[in-house]
Amino acid sequence: MKKKLTFLGIETSCDETAASVVQENSNGTAKVLSNVVSSQIREHKKFGGVVPEIAARAHVENVDFIIKEALKKSKKKIKDLDGIAATAGPGLVVCLHVGYNIGKSISEFGEKKFFPINHLEGHALSPSIENKISFPYLLLLVSGGHSQYLIVKGLNNYKRIGTTIDDAVGEAFDKTARILNLGYPGGPNVEKFSKLGNKNSYDLPQPIINRAGCNLSLAGLKTDVLRKSKNIKSDQDRYNLAASFQDTINKILRKKTEVAMKMFLDEVTNKHDNSFVVAGGVAANETIRKSLKEICEKRNFKAVFPSKEFCGDNGAMIAWAGIQRYKKKLFSKKDEIVRSRWPLDKYAPFLKGPGLKI
């Protein structure tokens, strides 16, 4: 019987210290033997956002313990592993260094192969941890730092068809929560308080909704939330504005997803079951999930949502990307370094900044 590959994955690109041991299954999915995540919510709460130096220090304090815990829970020792994967970008460089350096050191001393992983590739491949899914598929990645539509054509073969030209969706949730004083972390709190509000109370803008393909723009929406927040008189007004904001994001994602689906169908010739995958922290939002599932039904796409534990940042998706790279013999150069920017589609233009023409 062919040996099943087992990898340790380490993730420290932002504010989660995470490690996981993952073993491949014979049917193309993965068995997650352990998945340990330590969130730094407490550290960043009083600042209302992630402070890079504080995040890096917390990673240093936790990472060895988290890795030990992941190994212990999986009942594996370093000698049992086939390789070690660690996030090498994109993300906060001071944070990336922590997981990358410890992963590289363990692999050197344990004489294991080391895989520096693109965090976005981790998200892009995460649906196949739990689901048998064939390439190509359409991916919406919506997290704190990224919002993109990608055609995942295969391992190491990604085409970005849309991106945010300013704020990421998670970032817009976080900023709205800060403006409305709903607490940190923003996304889950906006979702929670939206349930108490009336989503039809405020009419908010949907920038570039009818142009620029499936690119997104959210800065104008956030600015309008800020402007309207000045006239808030009661808690009920805050909840109403939160609900209206969430509903506006929902409408934008519905519309842009329909555009992205059309682009996918035009671009891809070797179709299978037209899967549409939503990954990243925002994919945890129930209203958005429900709404995108409806679009899938309408457009004949198969909706795939990774479980919530694999939506946010985690080590399992990094280990899983490492396993898939190992199988395809996609080894990295020894001198690969961490990087803050690392687009999955290297041909996609950089679409951020003033004066953009889209």
Q: Can you give the binding site for ligand AMP, defined by CB under 6 A?
A: 143-145, 170-171, 173-174, 185-188, 191, 280-282, 284-285, 312-313
**Ranges within 140-159 binding Mg ion (CB under 5 A):** 143
* Binding flags for Mg ion, 58-97, as an x/- string (CB under 5 A): ----------------------------------------
Closest CB 330 distance from ligand AMP, rounded Å: 24
Residue 56 binds: one of ligand AMP, Mg ion, none (C-beta under 5 to 8 A by kind): none
Range in contact with Mg ion (rule: CB under 5 A) among 16-24, 53-61, 189-197, 310-318:
310-318
The least CB distance from residue 305 to ligand AMP, in Å, is 12
Instruction: Return d(Cα 356, Cα 17) in angstroms, integer.
Output: 36
Q: Which residue is nearest to ligand AMP (CB)?
A: 281
**Residue 285 binds which one of Mg ion, ligand AMP, none, with CB within 5 to 8 A depending on kind?**
ligand AMP
Q: Say how many residues touch Mg ion, by CB under 5 A.
A: 2
Shortest gap between Cβ of 317 and ligand AMP (angstroms)? Answer: 10
The yes or no reply on residue 126 touching Mg ion (CB under 5 A) is no
Q: Is the Cα torsion angle 279, 280, 283, 288 positive or negative in sign?
A: negative
**Closest residue by Cα to residue 343 from 124, 166, 173:** 124
Is 313 a binding residue for Mg ion by CB under 5 A? The answer is yes
CA 30 to chain centre: 19
Please provide residue 107's backbone torsions phi and psi, each rounded to the nearest 5 degrees. Answer: -70, -35
Of 44-52, 59-67, 182-190, 313-321, which part binds Mg ion (CB under 5 A)? 313-321
- Beta partners for residue 89, in sequence order: 118
Touching Mg ion, residues 211-270 (CB under 5 A): none
Query: For residue 180, what is the DSSP state?
Result: T
Computed on alpha carbons and rounded to an integer, the radius of gyration of the chain in Å comes to 20
CB of 284 to ligand AMP, least distance (A): 4
Of 71 and 129, the one with the shorter C-beta distance to ligand AMP is 129
Query: Nearest to residue 58, comparing CAs of 74, 73, 37, 72?
Result: 37
Closest CB to ligand AMP among 85 and 106?
Answer: 85
Nearer to ligand AMP, 260 or 282 (CB): 282
Q: Select 106 or 139, whichever has its Cβ closest to ligand AMP.
A: 139
Q: Which two tokens stand for residue 277?
A: 């995958």
Residue at shortest CB range from Mg ion: 143
Structure tokens at 63: 């990472």
* Partner residues linked to 313 by β-bridges: none
H, E, C per residue of 27-96: CCCEEEEEEEEEECHHHHHCCCCCCHHHHHHHHHHHHHHHHHHHHHHHCCCHHHCCEEEEEEECCCHHHH
Residue closer to Mg ion (CB basis): 14 or 225: 14
List CB contacts of 250: < 8 A, sequence separation 6 or more.
287, 288, 291
Residues at the site binding Mg ion, with contacts judged by CB under 5 A? 143, 313
